[in-house]
Amino acid sequence: MKIIINHSLMTPIYEQVVDQIKTMIRKGKLKENDQLPSVRTLSKELKISALTVKKAYDNLEEEGFVVTVHGKGTYVSANNRELLLEEQKKEIEADLEMAIQKGRRCGISDEELKSLFEMILEG
């Protein structure tokens, strides 16, 4: 599994792992029931603490993206389609919020922004 850790980012390493695994699931590189590398294997591969990988896996499990079967491993959850859709909606919402903020910084009124979004939606 190709995960790239950037130590110069302000984002914690476990969050980088979580985000990249979610992206792989979203893009279909990791599919339902695919097994993730063991905590030890991934920590050695990434040269990070096993506790950091464990925290990432625990976070993914709490969010419903993976399921851990003790003694067997961690697997991509079979019921993550709705979660992925919700994640994508949150991502789009954040992007739209950034666009609105940028528009306001440029002096565009909320009414003009609304018209612009409507025009874009109409194609």
What would the mean pLDDT of 7-27 be, rounded to a whole number?
A: 94
In this predicted structure, what is the pLDDT of residue 79?
66
Q: Regarding predicted confidence, which is higher, 9 or 83? A: 9
Residue type present at position 111 = E
List the CATH number of the domain containing 20. Answer: 1.10.10.10
In this predicted structure, what is the pLDDT of residue 80?
64
pLDDT, one tens digit per residue, over 80-89 is 667 777 877 8
Write out the residue range of the structural domain in which residue 90 sits: 82-122
Are residues 44 and 92 located together in one domain of the fold?
no
| Structure confidence at residue 3 as a pLDDT band (50, 70, 90) | very high
Q: pTM here?
A: 0.71
pLDDT, one tens digit per residue, over 30-85 is 999 999 999 999 999 999 999 999 999 999 999 989 999 999 999 999 866 677 77
Are residues 52 and 65 located together in one domain of the fold?
yes
Residue 105 covered by a domain: yes
Residue 119 neighbours by CB distance under 10 Å:
9
User: Rounded distance, CA 35 to CA 115, Å?
Assistant: 47
Cα→Cα distances 93→36, 66, 100, 117, Å: 29, 24, 10, 13
Q: How far is CA 119 from the centre of its chain?
A: 30
Q: Residue 74 has which token pair? A: 């961690």
Provide Rg for the chain, Cα atoms.
Answer: 19
Residue pair 21/29 in contact (Cβ under 8 Å)? The answer is no
Please report the sign of the dihedral spanned by the C-alpha atoms of residue 98, residue 12, residue 6, residue 18. negative
Are residues 22 and 62 located together in one domain of the fold?
yes
Residue 107 covered by a domain: yes
Q: Please state the domain count of the chain.
A: 2
